[in-house]
A = this chain, B = another copy of it.
Amino acid sequence: MDIKQAAKILKALSHPNRLEIYLSIVKGDQGGFQTAECECCVSEIMASLKIGAPTVSHHLKELANAGLITTERQGKFLIAKPVLGTWEEVRKILPQ
């Protein structure tokens, strides 16, 4: 993990809404893709953060682009799950 890559990942987490989205996805993760009742499909995030669907879509794309999550369509919904190894790599180059 080089510094530029780490900075990119940190940047993906550097906006309050995006950080909250990521933490929700991590918290909601049960080891696999979740069902439609999960708290991390776009419409749920939209409601809880009070931002529009296009914005949520954009944020999820940024998190995915940084390698912090993966997404998968399940019927009408989009389900996200964390890729914990990505954050782990960043931790390694920072203190402790």
Q: Which residue of B lies closest to A85 (CB)?
A: B95
Name the interface residues of A78-96: CB closer than 8 Å to any CB of B.
Answer: 82, 84, 87-88, 91, 93-96
Q: Tell whether A7 pairs with B15 under 8 Å between CB atoms, given A23-B93, A87-B94.
A: yes
Interface: A20 (CB within 8 A): yes
Q: Name the distance in Å between A32's Cβ and chain B's nearest Cβ.
A: 17
Q: Tell whether A13 pairs with B10 under 8 Å between CB atoms, given A82-B95, A91-B91.
A: yes
Within 8 Å by CB of A11, from B3, B15, B26, B88, lies B15
Residues of A within 8 A of B (CB): 3-4, 6-7, 10-11, 13-16, 18-20, 23, 26, 82, 84, 87-88, 91, 93-96
